[in-house]
Structure 1
């Protein structure tokens, strides 16, 4: 496993992220694309494109996708997966694209990393053409996620408290930040999102990706015990979770 870099933590875990989590949010893609009216020829920017799974899906739909991610290894994987897509390094508060370059901007499990959400939405608005739309999606509150049982067990093993829900995870969080910035919310909702693992090894590696080998060995029994209620009769695991999503139209100028 690659060692972590404090300056580029996501490049260090990019390959494992793609393997275990790359298509995890797929159920949230469809309501975003449908509500945003994304189809053949739509110019779409995927912010925080990660290892490129959504970019590839957009290509399959006939859209014209571009991507941006702050991690060089993530961008490299995205270019390899979505061949021909324009993938650049950057983040949502400093998008390296021209004004009005896109019909839609998507940010799936990414917008919560913006340090200044109002500035991020202003930057999204800058790269959108008139009438353009933004689609946001991310984790719903912890109580809706089976994965919280594992996170709580890991926190307890570290004599710590589980993290509290961020403001975007709760009901009205995404629509509130969009509406508060003057965007016209078109629709929003919650979708079930399953995470599966073929066995104990994938379960532990998927949960603890990016950790040192000695940490993985130490915490593996904690993860397996906490996931026991979600073990399938035929083996493997299935944990049900939820993502919130919202789509809004760019405010007029």
Structure 2
């Protein structure tokens, strides 16, 4: 059976691939990624962060559960070692293989977050976690809630202190944390609908347009201001 991320990989990479860029740049800054830094990006998607690590002079590797995402990542970052794999399974690298292990929008999908972060810490000296902040800080969620039967609740990693808590449970010292603005923009109605629905439930297109009206710009596009939280832990 085709995995759902592979089915939408091309559209996702086109419209969302660079979205987390501000958070990724902040993580690169606070972890000191630069020439010679060995970096593993878990859940690397279509490879934007791998390419950025290369720009900084680092040595990038990535892993993702979606074969099509991995194929896109290999094209975008041909210098990187990119593998297909499940984050809930042992990662196919030796202990202490990396200076930094990153995971953007990953931890909420794993069965045992502490065990997962603990494994990150076995193969990397620093562990950097990042993902969506609480829904009230994200314009995107106003649209998402309009399509849902009832508004969703914030998960533990959206709330303040969530990433820091799991790093500490994994016996890591938290060295940096914060929040970063990430903006998603669409130039027109069609792009907005494609980006929000990703080819599913196209009957919801009118509801998407209604919910997005507060974010419409003077040129007919849309600008949604959102936020990511991040935290970094280091082996003690």
Same fold (TM over 0.5): yes
Q: Secondary structure at the match of 1:185?
A: strand
Contact 1:18–1:51 (CA under 8 A) maintained in structure 2? yes
Aligned 1:2-41 pairs, distance under 5 A: 5=1, 8-41=3-36
Contact 1:47–1:105 (CA under 8 A) maintained in structure 2? yes
Deviations 1:199-230 (A, max 9, x none): 0000000000041xxx21x1111001100010
For 2:199 and 2:235, how far apart are their aligned partners in 1? Answer: 37
1:95 aligns to what? 91
For 1:210 and 1:174, how far apart are their aligned partners in 2? Answer: 32
Q: Secondary structure at the match of 1:105?
A: strand
1:244 aligns with 2:233: no
Match of 1:208 among 190, 197, 219: 197
1:140 aligns with 2:133: yes
Displacement after TM superposition at 1:63 (Å): 0.4
Query: Structure 2: which 5+ runs fail to align?
Result: none
1:222 aligns to what? 207
1:192 aligns with 2:185: no
Deviations 1:11-52 (A, max 9, x none): 111111101110101110122111111111100000000001
Deviations 1:33-80 (A, max 9, x none): 111111111000000000011111111111000000011000000000
Q: Secondary structure at the match of 2:33?
A: coil
For 1:17 and 1:153, how far apart are their aligned partners in 2? Answer: 21
Q: Secondary structure at the match of 2:205?
A: helix
Deviations 1:91-127 (A, max 9, x none): 3332111221111001111122111111101211221
For 2:130 and 2:114, how far apart are their aligned partners in 1? Answer: 16
2:153 aligns to what? 164
The TM-score with structure 1 as length reference comes to: 0.90
1:173 aligns to what? 162
Match of 1:79 among 70, 74, 79: 74
Query: Structure 1: which 5+ runs fail to align?
Result: none
| Paired residues, number | 235
1:149 aligns with 2:149: no
For 2:199 and 2:168, how far apart are their aligned partners in 1? Answer: 36
